[in-house]
Structure 1
Amino acid sequence: MSDPVLEIRGLRKAYGKIEAVRGVDLTIQPGEIVGLLGPNGAGKSTLFQIAAGLFAPDGGEVRLFGLDYRGNSSAILRRLGVVFQSRSVDLDMTVFANLAFHGNLFGLTGKLLRERIAEATALLEIEDLVKQSVRTLSGGNQRRVEIARALLNAPDLLLMDEPTVGLDPVMRRLVVTHMEKVRASRGTSILWSTHLVEEVERADRIAVMKAGEVVSESTPAGLCAATGATDLTQAYIRLTGGNAAVN
């Protein structure tokens, strides 16, 4: 088996007396789509931010592509794509200008930059929007621009933190389909953080978080079998003791 693209061991992070992440283990293999599923406040975003290199953990180990962030952040970030929960595109720039600016940060210029933009926008089916101002786009299309931007450096691992917040059910399903295409066409590994069960129903594995801990990790079918549930929504409710979000 190939080395993991992400390996987290005994991860801990606290904010004052509040333990946001408590001894979490999580591994993602090349080409896997892994769902990080849990209610709001479960610690998903904190784990995501540590994996993205934004915060240092209080304890435990985080390795991406076999490397620790300490002394290797540039090498890691060259192979990493990130889609944050909060929108981060420039609304007053065109789609192309947003993507070109981001590509320049990775040293992409000229023909290669144009090719990468063309590939990413075609994959996300927004190639006919590249000349439009981002402000004129729907929320769903703005989100697709952000995902396209995260793909420009051809990442080996894509981190997505609640990527469909504010989108309607049709657009959420479309984003899921797009990410399955990304994995199929590029072999990209994906960590998908969400509180919406439907988004990760077709993931290879799901780690369910509650109160800073991973309370169960398996395939969707495995979670159902372990909890005696008839579907993933029921399994999620039994594991977290709450209602499944379906908005």
Structure 2
Amino acid sequence: MDAIAGNAGPDQTPHHRVAALSVENVSHWFGKRQVLRDVSLHVPQGRVVALLGPNGAGKTTLFAIVTRLYHSRTGTVRVFGCDIHQDPSRALASLGIVFQTRTLDPDLTILQNLVYHASLHGITRHQTQERCVMLLKRVGLAERMDDKVRNLSGGQARRAEIARALVHRPRLLLLDEPTVGLDVASRSDIVADIRGLVREDGLSALWATHLLDEVDSDDDLVMLHEGRVIASGPVRTIAQQGDLTATFRRLTSDRRIKENA
């Protein structure tokens, strides 16, 4: 079976490994309302970084900036060292994206959705058919590939979106609340799928979530609250006495107290 991830480029030698994603001092406004304030974060190659924050923290806005749906007012974003504004085609080619909102065409089959996505990246049906089937096997949907998306469960649709995001062999996955609306078992399956891809195929992943139980103790963590990064580093370092929930509550409470003082 071929590897899921793309081939390593010249910037990934063992002695010079740039970050898979580098966000530096990014701010953004909607009108007069500032929703991101000097946000900086880094996703190392081959790692999961959890972007943890409550609803409204700015996670989706940050993802929209990284994917160039929005243009940031300040700051820089680089994907494997490539600036998304100076060379967007090259930068975006390395990204696989699973948005919070569902984006599969419900009237197409799973396989048709993947093949169509491949065509948008200039990959012909002949070139991509085998890969699409392989990816669907990987996420446990090979037997459903000819089913229309509208007949899938929420968890199955999410797994199909993950497979679609991998069709063009990206090296970095962006996942914006990928388990929202799913039951506990489906959530667990999605988490396991993503961590398996990172562990076995060398992908990097930025996982946005508001659910603390989706953050692993071995992850790197960025806490985002009201558009600001309030903590960043290994989970084991940030979580005082091993209690991430209590730490998150304290940090967000401290922030509100300071701003209201």
Query: Normalising by structure 1, what TM-score?
Result: 0.92
What is aligned with 1:151?
Answer: 166
Q: Does the 8 A contact of 1:35 with 1:203 survive in 2? A: no
1:43 and 2:55 correspond:
no
2:123 aligned to 108, 125, 138, which one?
108
Paired residue for 2:11?
A: none
Match of 1:239 among 237, 246, 251: 251
Instruction: Note the aligned Cα RMSD (angstroms).
Output: 1.5
For residues 8-44 of structure 1, give each alpha carbon's deviation from its aligned partner in whole angstroms, at most 9, with x where no partner exists: 1111101122111101111111111000000111111
- Give me the whole-angstrom Cα distance separating, in 2, the residues matched to 1:111 and 1:38: 42
Give the whole-Å Cα distance in 2 for the aligned partners of 1:202 and 1:153: 30
What displacement does 1:170 show? Answer: 1.0
CA apart distance, 1:146: 0.7
Aligned length: 239
Name which of structure 1's ranges 184-193 and 198-207 shifts more when overlaid on structure 2. Answer: 198-207
Match of 2:48 in 1: 33
Pick closer, same or farther for the CA change 1:50–1:203 going to 2, 3 Å. Answer: farther
What does the per-residue CA deviation read over 1:99-142, in whole Å, with 9 as the maximum and x for residues that have no partner?
Answer: 11011111222443022212211221111110111111101101
Which whole-Å CA distance do the structure 2 matches of 1:112 and 1:150 have between them? 16
List alignment gaps of at least 5 residues for structure 2: 1-15, 255-261
Matched-pair contact (CA < 8 Å) for 2:48–2:219: yes
| Residue in structure 1 matched with residue 227 of structure 2 by the alignment | 212
Q: Deviations over 1:138-192 (max 9, x none)?
A: 0110111111100111111110111111101111111000001111222110000
Q: Distance in 1 between the 2:36 and 2:143 partners?
A: 42
Given the superposition, is the C-alpha separation of residues 129 and 183 from structure 1 closer, same or farther in structure 2, using an over 3 Å criterion?
A: same
Contact residue 35 and residue 58 of structure 2 kept, 8 A? yes
Aligned to 1:178: 193
Query: In structure 2, what is the equivalent of residue 60 of structure 1?
Result: 75
Q: Which residue of 2 aligns with 1:131?
A: 146
**Would the aligned equivalents of 1:6 and 1:65 in 2 still touch at CA under 8 Å?**
yes
| Percent pairwise identity | 39
Structure 1: 5+ residue stretches without partners: 243-247
TM-score normalised to structure 2 length: 0.87
